[in-house]
Amino acid sequence: MAALTIRDVPDDQVQTLKVRAAQAGKSLQAYVLDLIAREASKPTMAEMVARLNRETTAGVSTEDVLAAIDAGRAGG
């Protein structure tokens, strides 16, 4: 695993994180690691759009749809 150093974090933000970590029953390191893991596991908007494009792209043309509608109307 890699080590990560974050510089110039305002004191009030560090204190807030320490309090939240304590409330969660975790060390500051474990709490921040959970925050990072949660953030890294969420897809970005671009990743979501790419996934939706992959999953919703149909291999059916407009002509295929119209032919199926016509066939359905004709009872065939």
Q: What is the pLDDT of residues 21-42, one digit of tens each?
A: 999 999 999 999 999 999 999 9
The C-alpha atoms of residue 67 and residue 61 are separated, in whole angstroms, by 10
Range of the domain at 75: 43-76
Assign 75 a pLDDT band (cuts: 50, 70, 90): confident
Q: Is residue 28 part of a domain?
A: yes
Q: Is residue 33 part of a domain?
A: yes
Helix (H), strand (E) at residue 61 = none
Q: Number of folded domains in the chain?
A: 2
Q: Is residue 1 part of a domain?
A: no
Looking at the structure, do residues 31 and 60 belong to the same domain, yes or no?
Answer: no
pTM over 0.75: no
pLDDT at 76 over 70: no
Assign 14 a pLDDT band (cuts: 50, 70, 90): very high
Q: Is residue 4 part of a domain?
A: no
Looking at the structure, do residues 14 and 34 belong to the same domain, yes or no?
Answer: yes
Closest CA to 43 of 29, 26, 27, 55: 55
